[in-house]
Amino acid sequence: MRVQVNDKHFEITEKTNLSQLLSAQNIDTSAVAVAMNGQIIHREQWQQTELKDNDTITLVQAVAGG
């Protein structure tokens, strides 16, 4: 099945969770907010959030400047 992470598409296997996807993509998540289909998912829920076909993942880098 296919998921989208920001503007890139990825082919993943069934029963992949959000946590597995992020580590497989080598994403540094220390200052990043992660959203699935428009809703931010808190870190403690990444493991139990299973991905479905056509899910859209959005990574937002923390920004603090002004």
Partner 1 sequence: MLNNEQLLRYSSNLLMKEIGEVGQQRLLKSHVLIIGLGGLGCPASQYLASSGVGQITLVDHDTISLSNLQRQTLYSSDDIGLSKARQAGHSLSQLNPDIRITALEEQACEDNLDALIKQADLVLDCTDNRETRYLINHSCYRLNTPLVSAAARGFNGQIIALNPEHSHGCYQCLYPDNVNEPLNCSNAGIAGPVVGIMGASQALQAINYFTGHELNWGYLQTFNGLSQNWQQLSLPRTASCPVCGGKNARSS
The number of C-alpha atoms within 13 Å of 39 and in the hemisphere containing its C-beta is 6
| Least separation in angstroms between CB 43 and partner 1 | 7
Q: Which of residues 5-64 bind partner 1 (CB under 8 A)?
A: 30-31, 33, 35, 38-40, 42-44, 58, 60-64
Tokens at 60, concatenated: 């937002």
CB contact at 8 A, 2 and 54: yes
CB contact at 8 A, 33 and 60: yes
| Least separation in angstroms between CB 14 and partner 1 | 26
The contact set with partner 1 (CB under 8 A) reads: 30-31, 33, 35, 38-40, 42-44, 58, 60-66
